[in-house]
Homo-oligomer: A and B are copies of this chain.
Amino acid sequence: MREPPSSAPEGSLIDPEVHVESFRQAREARRLELVEDYVELIADLIGDGGEARQVDIAARLGVAQPTVAKMLKRLAEDGLVQQRPYRGVFLTAAGEALAAQSRERHRIVERFLCAVGVSPETARRDAEGIEHHVSAETLDAFRRFADGHSDA
């Protein structure tokens, strides 16, 4: 930490200021993961059955219902959902927009993994985590690749 950038050529380490950017980006993505998964799931549940209820969200996410209740409160505070007490939860315009974007990115990542030779089951599972860390540039590359490798 006390030498100019070009004096220690021994290891595999890059410049600290550059290195830290990657970790910051990953932390920011991790911070948004849950929110993205929630609005995407809520949109899917509403599209599937007309309503998104806490118990169904909890069952799909694999968490307890009070955990969902608390998160929905936060999403409501953030203006992404609107909940009517003892009725379901609905997406605001902002929530719809984030859900659409998240769903599209999710779909592209999963399709790309399949295109590169991963089995559908593994692609489904890995995509659930990978999606949140895929930047716009990488998403473009994934889309191009998948498009070029579909038999349509």
- With a cutoff of 8 Å between Cβ atoms, the chain B residues found around residue A56 in the complex are 1, 16
A interface bracket (residues with beta carbon within 8 Å of B): 35 or more
A74 at the interface (CB under 8 A from B): no
* Contact (A19, B126) CB under 8 Å given A13-B48, A116-B142: no
Each complex incorporates copies of this chain amounting to: 2
Q: Do A132 and B129 touch (CB < 8 A)?
A: yes
A47 at the interface (CB under 8 A from B): yes
Complex partner residue of A118 from B20, B45, B132, B137, CB under 8 angstroms: B137
Complex partner residue of A24 from B13, B62, B138, CB under 8 angstroms: B62
Give Cα A12–Cα B119 distance, bound, in whole angstroms. 19
| Distance (whole angstroms) from the CB of A49 to the closest CB of chain B | 7
